[in-house]
């Protein structure tokens, strides 16, 4: 009787998930990652605002982590240092461009995933843009992942409620993966 391949689902953002995926891809697993889609900072945040695309930075990190064609991954991490593209990574621009052409992020992930011959599946937790918001105990409202993370008095005041605006439904593929 053949040995059953274990299914692993990693849930999180780009940095932590990519580190875990880099280690797990070496094993014979049915590997899935469900990524948060609420990044509001840096290149991802700018591309979300300017182009109306889903945030691609965490996707890029996981594509690189799962890639079997590592000679291409260095290009995805290349970050422009000057001009209007300063701060943007080539990978984020590629993901945004393919998303615009294909009409959705899932197709962009599939296309780039095939080029990189990735081990596993990258699943956005939602398929529509939404902002994470934090209502603090002092009644102050903070909008955006970057602002919540960088709030200097958050630990002193505490969060009363975290929510998404607009409210969006979970990606059915994410629910199925779990």
Query: pLDDT tens-digit profile of 84-127?
Result: 999 999 999 999 999 999 999 999 999 999 999 999 999 999 99
Q: Which domain holds residue 97?
A: 6-126+169-177
Report if residue 150 sits inside a domain: no
Report if residue 47 sits inside a domain: yes
Q: What Cα–Cα distance (Å) separates residue 131 from each residue in 45, 144, 146?
A: 11, 6, 11
The per-residue pLDDT for 133 is: 98
The per-residue pLDDT for 14 is: 82
Report if residue 163 sits inside a domain: no
Decide: 29 and 5 in contact? Cβ < 8 Å: yes
Could you say which residues of the chain have pLDDT below 50? none
Report if residue 71 sits inside a domain: yes
Report if residue 149 sits inside a domain: no
Report if residue 133 sits inside a domain: no
The per-residue pLDDT for 72 is: 84
The count of C-alpha atoms lying within 13 angstroms of the C-alpha of 61, restricted to the half-sphere facing its C-beta, is 20
What total of structural domains would you count in the chain? 1
Report if residue 99 sits inside a domain: yes
Full DSSP string of 127-178 = SS--EEEEEETTS-EEESHHHHHT-TTHHHH-EEEEEEES--PBPHHHHHH-
Decide: 56 and 96 in contact? Cβ < 8 Å: yes
The per-residue pLDDT for 2 is: 66
The per-residue pLDDT for 38 is: 95
The per-residue pLDDT for 1 is: 58
Report if residue 51 sits inside a domain: yes
């Amino acid at each position: 009787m053949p040995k059953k391949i274990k299914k692993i689902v990693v849930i999180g953002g780009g940095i932590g998930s990519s580190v875990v995926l880099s280690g797990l891809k070496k094993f014979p697993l049915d590997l899935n990652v469900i990524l948060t889609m609420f990044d509001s900072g840096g290149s991802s945040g700018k591309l979300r605002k300017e182009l109306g695309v889903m945030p691609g930075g965490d996707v890029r990190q996981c594509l690189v982590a799962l890639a079997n064609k590592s000679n291409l991954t260095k290009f995805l991490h290349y970050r422009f240092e000057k001009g209007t593209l300063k701060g943007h990574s080539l990978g984020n621009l590629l993901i945004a461009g393919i998303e615009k052409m294909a009409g959705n992020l899932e197709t962009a992930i599939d296309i780039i995933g095939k080029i990189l011959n990735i081990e596993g599946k990258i699943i956005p937790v939602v398929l529509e843009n939404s902002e994470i918001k934090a209502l603090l105990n002092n009644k102050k409202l903070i909008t955006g992942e970057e602002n919540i993370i960088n709030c200097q008095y958050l630990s002193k005041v505490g969060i009363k409620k975290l929510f998404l605006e607009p409210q969006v439904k979970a990606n059915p593929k994410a629910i199925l993966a779990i």
